[in-house]
Structure formats: C-alpha cells, structure tokens
Chains A and B, each alone.
Chain A
Amino acid sequence: MADVAIEAEGLRKFYGRVRALDGIDLRVPVGTVLGLLGPNGAGKTTAVRILTTLLPPDGGSARVAGFDVATEAAKLRSKIGLAGQYAAVDENLTGAENLEMVGRLYHLPKGEPRARAAELLERFDLSDAADRLVRTYSGGMRRRLDLAAALVARPPVLFLDEPTTGLDPRSRLGLWETIESRVAGGTTVLLTTQYLDEADRLADRISVIDHGRVIAEGSSDELKDQVGGEHLEVTLESESDVEAAIVALEPVAAERPALVEGVLRMPIKQRRGTIAEAVRILNDAGIGIDDVAMRRPTLDDVFLTLTGHAAESADGDGDGEESGGER
C-alpha cells in the first residue's frame, strides 16, 4: 500500500453518450513518474480531475497517497499539488501574492508562504515580475506561475496536465529539471503530455490512452519494442522503382517492406552489415538511392501506431481484439 502513490481501478466517467473514461486502471509507485499520453479528447484531463477530487467518477475507485478520492477527499487534498491544463491564477494579484495565497490555503506554518513564494518565483524565473499584477504577464509566465503554485506546499503527489504547453524551450528544460529534482526527493508525478520527448525523458512508465481506455502501458523502451525493433528505411530516387525495390530487398527484410510517405520501411533480419547489403542489392538492380538509414522507433511511432490502430478497431471488427465486445 504505502509504496503505491496513485492507484485507480476501472475509473469511468460519462458525459451523456461520450465515454470520457471507459474503465481506466493506473498504478504509480511512490517516487516515480507516470506519463499519460493520448490524442485530444482521449480522457487525460478527465482522469486528472477525478484523481484530484474535482470530479466524482461514475464508476471505479481510486486512491491517492493512500486516501480514497470519494470518501477521504479532504485528507487527500493536503497531499497533492495540481497544475491544470489552463493556468489558474488570479489576474488581479501579483505573482508573489498568488503564491502566498496558495501557501496560506495549504495552511503552511507562519512565514513559510512568503518564503516559499520568493523561492519558487526565483526557481521559475519570475523574480523580476514578482510584484507585477498577473494580468500583465505573458501566457508562458502565467503558466510558470501556475506550476509554481502546484509546488508551494511540496506535496508528495503532483498532477501536471500538459505542464509545458506554451512554454519556451528554456522554460521547458527548467521545468523538467525542477520535476526531476522533486522526483529525486521522493515526489510522485502524474503528467499528461502531447510531447513525446517529454514523456520519453521524464516518465518511468507511460500509459497510452484513447477513447477513455488504456491501450498500452509500459516503459518508453517497452512501448517502442511493442511497435517493432529497428527498421531499415530507404528513400528511392524515383518512386517508379518501388515495386522492383521491394522484390530486390526481400533477402534483408524480415517482413515485406511497406511504403510510408514515400519511404520504404521494413523490419530487418539482423543489424550487422544490412545497410551495405541493401545498397549493394539496389545498385546491382540499377535502382537509384536517395537515402538509406537505420531507425529505431520513436514514441511518435508508438503513438501513431497505437492510436491509429485503436481508431480503426473502434468501428471495425477485423482485429481479433478481445476487449471491445460490448458495442
């Protein structure tokens, strides 16, 4: 129990006929980062809102920091920090006043709210703007202030809904470092993101969700392996040679090469010597080459493959998946 910070079982949430969440299971060990990945409308924000007690689920149960979201919400709230998808800061207060107010509302000991505010403004590069009204802040500055607010009480569990959307590259890196140092100190983080490099770098485990369901779960490497190992990619000088190239490359390809956006893509039988072999084969066949490369799948591939796949199986039936029988 004590070593799991976030645990959800069969979470459901319906908005009329929309199944925002359709039975989600999550398990995040203490001191680790779970990345929730999914296309727009997948249900990420809904999951975050349920786990932070903002929304009652229609089914299922969840515990955060050992407390039940439905029955122990008040205790749960003292253990979490939330930065929602849209910055929630008071426009008519200064940056410092905003953070101090949040510190007071967490009931931090006397003097602490002000000290924490100063510390976090510094950390998020807002010291110069500390005493300016937030309505004069830029979008990215508001975002940073909102993230700082989530950290005010050093909560053991952090929920960050697309935390780096709208941040410049420098602020983004700064936030990553801040999150990493919190996690090193034992904080548990659930973050949603559209940026796969972010999930790749920060998340220990990733849950890919689509249409309110978890469609894949694992570490970044595991997910990449699920999509397939290394691929050989060949770009030809002329597309009219494609058929000939597919036939010619058969000896090195583990499966029949596929044409993806003008690039011939194939899993390979072995890594060593394959590029040289492919070049030799194509030269012998008189097929002109523009580019040859080995590519390991990125999370982008994972995302596209998984969610593209899911979208197809939602209204088709030919997939042999056992999970979707009730529609």
Chain B
Amino acid sequence: MSNFRHGISDTLVLAKRSFLRIPRAPDLLLSFTVQPIMFVLLFVYVFGGAIVTPGYDYVDFLMPGIIVQTMAFGGFVTALGLAEDLKKGLVDRFRSLPMSRSAVLAGRTLADVATNTVSIAIMIVVGVLAGFSFDAPVAHIAAGILLLLLFGYAFSWVFAFIGLSSSSPEASQSLGFILIFPLTFVSSAFVPVDSMPSALQAFAEVNPFTIVVDAMRSLFLGAPAGNSVWAAVAWSIGIAAVFAYLSVAKYKRAVVR
C-alpha cells in the first residue's frame, strides 16, 4: 500500500516539476497557445472556402477536428521533456532514486492534461470568434471536453514512448510530426472522408482519429454518432494502456546517450 501512496506522491512531485517549467520556458507556452490559433485561422480563412462540407459551415466542421489534432500534439511537451531529461542525465538521477518507476512518465503526462485544458479553452474562444457555434446540450459538450482530454492523455503516452526512443529532442520532434500528420490529415478532421481517393478512404475510415473526430462532431454539433463515442473512448483507453506499458518498460532500461 505504501508503494501505491509513494507512486501517487512521486507522480505529483514530478507533475509539479513539469508544470513549473511552463511559465519559465515561454517558447514552449507559445507552441500550445499560438500554434492552435494559427491553425484555426489558416484553415478557416485559407482552405475553408475551397472545402465543401455538406450540412455544415466549414468552421463548424473544422473545430472538432482541429481540437482533436491539437490534443494529439499536446503530448509533444512530454516527448521533448523526456528526450531532454535523457540527454541531461536526469533520467539517471531519477532511476537511482527509490521512487516509483512510472512516476517520471506519469508526472509528465499528467502535466500535459493541464496544458491541454488550456489549449481547449483557447481553441474554443478562437473558434467562436471565427464563427463556430455549439449545437448540443451542455452535458454533451462537457462529455466532449472530457473525451478530448482523455484522447490527449493517450497521445501523451504515445509521445512518452517517442521521447524515450529518440536519440535527441530534435529527433523526437521530427518523429512525432512524421507519425501524427498523416494520421490527422488522412482522417475526417479537415475534409469529408468521401472526398478522398478510395485507398485513402479505406485508411481514413479505420483511423482512430476519424472515430474520435466523428465522436466530437456528435458531442459538439449533434451529428449522428452511431457508436463512435464509445469507440473513441475505447481507442483512447487502449492507446493509453499500450503505450503506457511500452513506455514504462522502455524507461526502466533507458540508457543515456
């Protein structure tokens, strides 16, 4: 039992550490505040006019998709942080301490939840200013926000794995982009799936991003959901579980250099 209590307290100590660095490294703050705003504005005003989304204004269609993408990228802070901890030898220090073996990762991913919350708030404000409007009961909107945070948390674990697998912070960054961009772009996030060539369509339809984005459209806009909400929850939990396991295993063996 005391193991469990220590695990929690270690995680909180390290979450606090990740959290403290946010105001102290303002360039990082930029990446999860300004970048999403830029994306919304680019898509709404640059691509928006050219993309046909039957039944929706483009901004309404776009916002759920772009927030999901932002959640997926929220984990970058974890990947960069871990890659840096490895490089600077901090992981060695932590691994020599009598602390929980998962706390370094759990602390970082937990801190991401906080920054993701801030991102969601910013995105919604910017979206509304650009013309987005919710079309669903408050309970659904709240559930949607929780789903976003859950999905973001799952991707923090994906990024934890990326960070631990990379030879440098820079490498973790490009690895992350290579992985996330195809997943988000070949999904229903930015364009209707049936506008894609059939090979891409087949991929887009099974892509978890599509499932989560569809779930968000139903929770925020009242679109017909099917069972995409539960599928989205299941995907998120599955991704989190698999990558948490892989990351902790990797962390235990982490070797500097």
When chains A and B are docked, how far (Å) is the Cα of A6 from the Cα of B105? 31
Residues B72-97 near A (CB distance < 8 A): 88-90, 92-97
Pair B97/A92 contact, Cβ less than 8 Å: no
Instruction: Encode contact with B along A38-59: 1 for CB under 8 Å, 0 otherwise.
Output: 0000000000010011110000
Asked if B20 contacts A92 (CB within 8 A), the reply is: yes
Q: Distance in Å from the Cβ of A118 to the closest Cβ of chain B?
A: 18
> Measured between alpha carbons, how far is A74 from B92 in the docked complex, in Å?
14
Contact B92–A101 (Cβ < 8 Å): no
- With CB as the reference atom, state the residue of chain A lying closest to B253: A56
Cα separation A106 to B96 with both chains bound (whole Å): 10
Q: Provide the bound-state CA to CA distance between A88 and B254, in Å.
A: 15
Alpha-carbon separation in the docked complex, A77 to B103 (Å): 15
**Within the complex, what minimum Cβ distance (angstroms) separates A274 from chain B?**
52
A53-B24 contact given A88-B88, A90-B90, A107-B6, CB 8 Å threshold? no
Asked whether any CB of chain B lies closer than 8 Å to the CB of A78, the reply is yes
Stretch at the interface among A28-36, A79-87, A299-307, A312-320: A79-87
Q: Find the residue from B14, B24, B103 having the highest chain A CB count within 10 A.
A: B24
A114 at the B interface (CB under 8 A)? no
Chain A residues whose CB sits within 8 angstroms of the CB of B17 once the complex forms: 90, 93, 97, 101
A28 to B14, CA, bound (A): 34
Q: Closest B residue to A77 by CB, please name it.
A: B98
Given the interface pairs A92-B24, A105-B99, A133-B24, the reply to whether A84 lies near B92 with Cβ below 8 Å is yes
Given A104-B9, A105-B13, CB of A92 within 8 Å of CB of B95? no
Verify B97–A54 contact, CB threshold 8 A. Answer: no
Residues of A within 8 Å of B21, CB to CB, are: 90, 92-93
CA distance A55 to B21 in the complex (A): 29
Q: Is the CB of B96 within 8 A of A80?
A: yes
User: Which of these, A53, A55, A88, contacts B90 with CB under 8 Å?
Assistant: A88
Per-position binary interface string of chain B over residues 29-61, scored 1 when its CB falls under 8 Å from any chain A CB and 0 otherwise: 000000000000000000000000000000000
Are A88's CB and B93's CB within 8 A?
yes
Q: Are B94 and A105 in contact (CB under 8 A)?
A: yes
Q: List residues 1-24 of chain B with CB under 8 A from any CB of chain A.
A: 6, 9-10, 13-14, 17, 20-21, 24
Q: Is B225 an interface residue (CB 8 A)?
A: no
Q: Which residue of A lies closest to B5 (CB)?
A: A107
Query: Closest residue to A107 on the B side, CB-wise?
Result: B6
Cα A3 to Cα B159 with chains together (Å): 46
Nearest CB of chain A from residue B249's CB, rounded to whole Å: 14
Residues of B contacting A239 in the complex (Cβ-Cβ under 8 angstroms):
none
A sample of 15 more A-B contacts (CB under 8 A), given A82-B93, A86-B88, A105-B97, is A53-B96, A54-B95, A54-B96, A77-B96, A80-B96, A82-B96, A84-B92, A86-B89, A89-B90, A90-B90, A91-B88, A92-B20, A104-B13, A105-B10, A105-B103
7 tightest A-B contacts by CB? Answer: A78-B98, A88-B89, A92-B21, A88-B93, A77-B98, A82-B96, A105-B99
